[in-house]
Structure 1
């Protein structure tokens, strides 16, 4: 355990440069006292680690010192190869880079692990696209990616749902997120951070000036917060629905997972006919009609009255269509 931690200390200093004892302790989840002891051990082993005193000080390696990749376990090697997704890497223009990096890693591994990585490629395939939907066409993804890397402000023409549908925005591109086969740009405007679907960017032009990305900005944390807020903003209303037990079990395959969980968590005891009463969050009556019709006759809307009335009208219209012989010709 300690040998693995010492290697981690060495690799952290090699990749990040100067780090304080507190930063190392937080990264490794140990005490500062343990970091001090580890530094003494590395020095005793001949590793050129130097401690700079003062407020801006910290530990660093002698300039030019590098260590070869060592101590890679079987589990670590197995984890690295599925981590490189060839589809997204190709989208970002990094397909060749990923293939070359994996080739170099394979060459550095011992024979046993090298054979194992070949087996992994034949046994695991990662598909990031969602069911029932095609991946977006992202004509401008390469330009967006370049702006993200270079921290260049961009001028984009963007298509959105509400009017006016085409708008022009000046953005600071903070990062890219791949969600169910669709790329999203997280970017800042004065006073706001917004999310833009890359496939809806109609044109993009990199501006000469660069921007400063806030040091405290965490892309993953921001995205999780955005998703939670997005669902809260969308699902402002609720539908009370009576469901058959069989349908309740199939809901995750028929509607969004968050809505299926809400229905399951709110489900009451079965009534005389075996059906359960559940609450499903909805965006609007218009949107809910289509979603709930897809559940068939095993679902009955109880409330709100407007939704029940709309469901009845739609079902009556469908009955009229299918109650007569089909048109010919």
Structure 2
């Protein structure tokens, strides 16, 4: 994987992931679906469930029936909007357990849920995809290869996320389809979300075949250590994140900076957003650089590329 998007590399990584998924299903004595369905996020969820169950031995009859039924419910579909389904709702429930709880204006805890797409939102998504195709076709091509489903979130708790348990799905808050408080246009905001979440998705697949981090436990004076895992302050999250989270943020921010360079000239709000992302990217590169000894050769090369985007040394 490189900082510059590459659809062919994404296809190679996806192919390796699909081979691994097929092997898990075969070990569980489940019939793998065809390629038109094997890459669907709901199938990925079934594979994760089967893999966990296999740690205790072969699947029992009830587990086998349940997972077989889950595979049978998955239908082929093309890249694009995904309306609420079980695998997406379960992913949001997991995400809510991992984010800090805070209250809304009404004093109640904010939450999030998967929302159905409205027709005007589908049109706004098409505008965002068209914008990305126009200004950065390489990124648009990679997103089409890495992302299978785009789900909308309603509620204030989560802006957007990916989840390897349903790899291939990205979940983005529906407000990103509309103009922001600063006036940043909706298509620009959602194009950024596609680049952002698409980069996370690509990193998740790439790390399987060529890891970014060494397997030993990282240490550092700027992090807390909870439950044996290093947690580090990062630019994009209020809560400390593991080193892998910082690494992915660094790649995401470098790509986001590259996107906004291509959007230069679209107005002051775009310029302001570029400056904000540039500052966060510098912070991410600087922080990750202090942990560069925990990176593999692949990870160090990618860190160097991120630094190169900013015109600095890692």
Q: TM-score, length-normalised on structure 1?
A: 0.26
Q: Give 1 or 2 for the bigger CA radius of gyration.
A: 1
Between structures 1 and 2, the one with greater helix share: 2
Q: TM-score, length-normalised on structure 2?
A: 0.27
